[in-house]
Amino acid sequence: MSRFTHALLFSTLAAACGPTVNQSVCDGSVTQPEECNEACNATPGSPNTCPSGFYCTETGTCNAQCAAGVKECPEGYVCSVDGRCEDDGSGDDVPPPDTENCPNVTFQAMPVTPSIGLVLDRSGSMYDQNPTRYSSMREALVGTNGVVSQLEDKAYFGSLLYTGGDTTGCAQLIQVPRAINNAAAIRASIDTYLTDRGENTPTYRAVNAMVQAFQVNPPPADSPPVIVLATDGLPNDCNSGNSTQTQSVQAVAASYAAGIPVYVLAIGLDGQHFQDMANAGQGSANAEYFTANNAAELATAFQTIINGVVSCELSLDADLTVSQAEQGTVTLNGMDLTYGTDWELASPTTIRLLGAACETLKTTTNPSVSAEFPCGVIVGKSVQ
């Protein structure tokens, strides 16, 4: 989404058009038939001396654009007896470029990188249990196996700890600005208050402050902003203890109206108020909100929310046709993926990894994604 301004190392997405990629049956990326590179007479007008299914290239070696069961021609073309893709009469009469003269077309796959603001309750009730809800939240987020620790290179994470009391300053808001690889800074902020018990729960003030942080410091281009709110109590005002449920629903509704959806995690309780906040924060009449009553459930809830926000979509700088996408080969960390099972074409300019491939993409440090597509699949790219 760029979606990364840091160096997440995705390999180039290359169309299979030139002799160095998987366009001809003699390319090194497939098992080469023994006829490949057999010498032939390249003199113009000379008979084709290559074996059946092959033609003589300008360099005097045998080659083929297509072969049954190995390399099929694009839609609208058929494989000739000498291994060339020829119009079958249903196409546009524009022959596909041959292997030698088709230049490589390069795409850059750019992963969608969200900007996530964590709004975290540190009111008094977060410290009541043993272990405390606050310490469990810490482990779920920034512990060794915490979701932020695992995904810190996949999202711009920032945090805001909040509580309030009758002291000067009312709401106590401790913020860590959003950044890639930000787990250490967020962990340090949370750890500062492991035993420093807060008081009230001014949720609406915290949400408003996070929205303001997004407005003052906007996310990178094409990075979708998201707020994840985790709280264990009904909201009240920071200096009086009066209920502020209405203000809290209004705050998340305003966040959604500003283009920043809010996902709600209720720790140790549930109820209509949290449903109302989820609805307002996601612009839905029956939005999902999450609950957790112990450390394991808390970890699962954070994983579910944040993994759902971190995307497995990769954007391209050229179009692919949906009907021909299955002719491409997409590889993740050196393993070929299956079209329709491991990946799909989400739009003409976006591919989406699915299932286990998506999870591997999210959890691998510096994953490598590459793909090859036959020239006939590419739309909107001129070939010289």
Predicted TM-score (pTM) of this structure: 0.63
In this predicted model, which residue has the larger pLDDT, 71 or 156?
A: 156
- pLDDT average, residue stretch 216-233: 91
pLDDT of 174 reads: 95
* Domain annotation for the chain: domains and CATH numbers: 35-101 (no CATH), 113-309 (3.40.50.410)
- pLDDT tens for 298-318 read 999 998 898 888 878 777 655
Find how far residue 344's CA is from the centre of its chain.
Answer: 13
27 confidence band (pLDDT: 50, 70, 90): low
Percent of the chain whose pLDDT exceeds 90? 39
**C-alpha–C-alpha distance, residues 53 and 84, integer Å:** 8
**C-alpha–C-alpha distance, residues 102 and 327, integer Å:** 17
In this predicted model, which residue has the larger pLDDT, 43 or 243?
A: 243
**C-alpha–C-alpha distance, residues 276 and 24, integer Å:** 59
Q: Is the peptide bond before 95 cis (omega within 30 degrees of 0)?
A: no
Across 25-34, 89-98, 195-204, the highest mean pLDDT is recorded for: 195-204
- pLDDT average, residue stretch 80-94: 71
Placement of tokens 């009111």 in the chain? 123
**C-alpha–C-alpha distance, residues 344 and 330, integer Å:** 10
